[in-house]
Amino acid sequence: MKSKSELFQNAKKMWKYMRESKPSLIGYAIVSIVESIISVILPLISAKIILNMTEGAIAQLIYASLTVLIIEILFNVANSYKAHFYQNVYRKTLINLQMAVAKETLKLEIKEIDKNSSGLFIDRLNKDTKDISGIFMEYTYWLSSIISNVGVLITVFILNKYLFLFAIASSIGNFLINKKSLSKQYEIQKEVRTLQEKKTGLTAEVIRGIKDIKVLNASKTVLSQVENKIKGTTEEEIKMLNVRRKYYLLRYIISSLSDFLFIVLGCFLYTKGLLAIATFVIVYNYQSKVKNLLNGIGQLMEFNKKFIVSSSRIFEIIDDEKFSKEKFGHKEIQKLTGHIEFKDVSFGYENDMPILNDMCFEIKPNEKVAFVGKSGAGKTTVFNLLTKLYQTTDGKILLDGTNIDELDCDSIRNNMSIITQNPYIFNMSIKDNLLLAKEDATMDEIRQSCKMASIDDFIMTLPDKYDTILGENGVILSGGQKQRLAIARGLLMKTEIMLFDEATSALDNETQTEIQNAIDNLKGEYTILIVAHRLSTIIDSDKIFVVDDGKIVASGTHKALLKKSKLYRSLYEKDLEAI
């Protein structure tokens, strides 16, 4: 009962993505009905041709053959239109469904991405959407096949009741074998899907991490893991193919036996005067359709199971059934002033491993503040919560006096730009990477941000300049160049709040000085937050927060902290030694 309810609910949900194809669906249904009618009529006329030939009725033979020719042409024309309608429905449904999954995937909480393999989302976006986008048309095909076969069965019943009973028995035998085969395949298919997700995730990671794999000389280890995933998936697929093969052989043997018994029965009925030659020829032409009548029902049952598996996996993402989504409020603020408050904020990436513990601080508009502390103290976590990549466990974060949970997504992220230590550079041109930050940016604005980030000179030396394709994660750029491009991307946004998370860590001293000057030029116009490893870069901050064990343990200017904070003084002295 549960599976039927799930099938019905998911089918209703699917209509949302198919309804704009309604004209093509209607066209497909009409053509399918025409095909069903033709498939019932054609064997009757074909039998007449055979009879006319045996009786030497040449004129009738020509007319019957001409009729068959016209019907077959009509059938093929109808089939061509059917394919056209199918393509329209499939294309639009697939686009709508894949866009919905992509859109909802981008709404997932980062913690869902952290704890699941990327292969899970890749497979559901690519494979599952394709599986169910064409499944409705498969339903229509088998329904029209069943309708035409029912028509054939009625015709057989009218022609000869004995052959009708034999046909029913033969069809039931085929159906039972097919049902058993599909049931076994379904159980294996679920396991294949799970293994396929893991394999896709691992292979994606191998491609992304190929440079590190080479440097670590870890090819053997990685290949061993890949081999295990490939073997596991392939073995399950082979297991499913073996099930198909065994049941296909059984079905073929029974089908051949059925054909033999049909001829024996026909001969017996003929000798008893219960069957005419013409009737036998007609029914014989119908035999395959009659035999496969219930197989169509079996196919529909298979599609039901396949649809439930694929659609459930997709709607787990779309409908918040399994993966939690980011939650925002409805309050809209076009332009923040940059006033930030953390009030007793606690958070942990894992429930039993707190990172922040009742953290409190305040940042006023247009202040330049820095966060310093040992690795793992919680500095970057402050930025993750401020941009609402993660949800606080306790406490409040206020932006311009409004709880961040009450603000909509645009009010938060359109007013903040973050430049991270390890920015992701997309496999597109330099210009397109920058336009991600500001879709309508002019070339002058783009170049100005790149000049401020000290990367324009390098870009202009490239053969294609700003049209240069960077490869996956900016593979043609050095670490420092990636960070400078990310800084340019952040500067292009010109948001009221700018977050720099170890943004100059991969830069040489000269470039770091240039970037520092660019950041200094923003001082007084924007609220600037900096997480810094090199304390020498933040000594001119209006305020410095010292973070330890998830709390602010000291705050003040550089000079004040040198006097009153032992931890800050220790960190600063280590920084000087490193220089």
**Which domains, from first to last, does the chain contain?**
14-318 (1.20.1560.10), 340-578 (3.40.50.300)
Question: What 3-state DSSP class applies to 531?
Answer: strand
Mean pLDDT in residue range 333-361 = 87
- CA–CA separation, 178 and 293 (whole Å): 12
Residue 544 CB contacts under 8 Å (≥ 6 apart), including other chains:
369, 370, 371, 372, 538, 555, 556, 557, 558, 561, 568
Confidence (pLDDT) at 226 = 72
Distance of alpha carbon 379 from the chain centroid: 32
Q: What is the pLDDT of residues 529-569, one digit of tens each?
A: 988 777 777 888 889 999 888 889 998 888 888 888 888 88
- CA–CA separation, 182 and 193 (whole Å): 16
- CA–CA separation, 227 and 219 (whole Å): 12
- CA–CA separation, 60 and 430 (whole Å): 75
- Is the predicted pLDDT of residue 362 greater than 60, yes or no? yes
Which has the closest alpha carbon to 423: 365, 487, 468, 332? 487
- CA–CA separation, 445 and 170 (whole Å): 76
- Work out the mean pLDDT of the chain and round it to a whole number: 79
- CA–CA separation, 315 and 296 (whole Å): 27
Q: Would you say 233 and 195 are in contact if contact means Cβ atoms under 8 Å apart? A: yes
- Is the predicted pLDDT of residue 476 greater than 90, yes or no? no
Confidence (pLDDT) at 447 = 92
Q: Return the top range by mean pLDDT from 76-80, 417-421, 478-482, 541-545.
A: 541-545
Confidence (pLDDT) at 148 = 67
Q: Tokens in use for 359?
A: 């953290």
Higher confidence at residue 102 or residue 236?
102
Residue 15 CB contacts under 8 Å (≥ 6 apart), including other chains:
none
Q: Counting beta carbons within 10 angstroms of the beta carbon of residue 86, is it exposed (0 to 12), middle (13 to 18) or buried (19 or more)?
A: buried
Going by the DSSP 8-state scheme, the letter that residue 331 receives in this structure is: B
Mean pLDDT in residue range 224-251 = 76
Q: Is the pTM of this model over 0.85?
A: no
Mean pLDDT in residue range 205-213 = 61
249 pLDDT tier (thresholds 50, 70, 90): confident
Q: Would you say 485 and 425 are in contact if contact means Cβ atoms under 8 Å apart? A: yes
Query: Of the given ranges (208-212, 308-312, 370-374, 401-405), which has the lowest mean pLDDT?
Result: 208-212
1 pLDDT tier (thresholds 50, 70, 90): very low
Mean pLDDT in residue range 446-474 = 88
301 pLDDT tier (thresholds 50, 70, 90): confident
- Is the predicted pLDDT of residue 73 greater than 80, yes or no? yes
Confidence (pLDDT) at 506 = 58
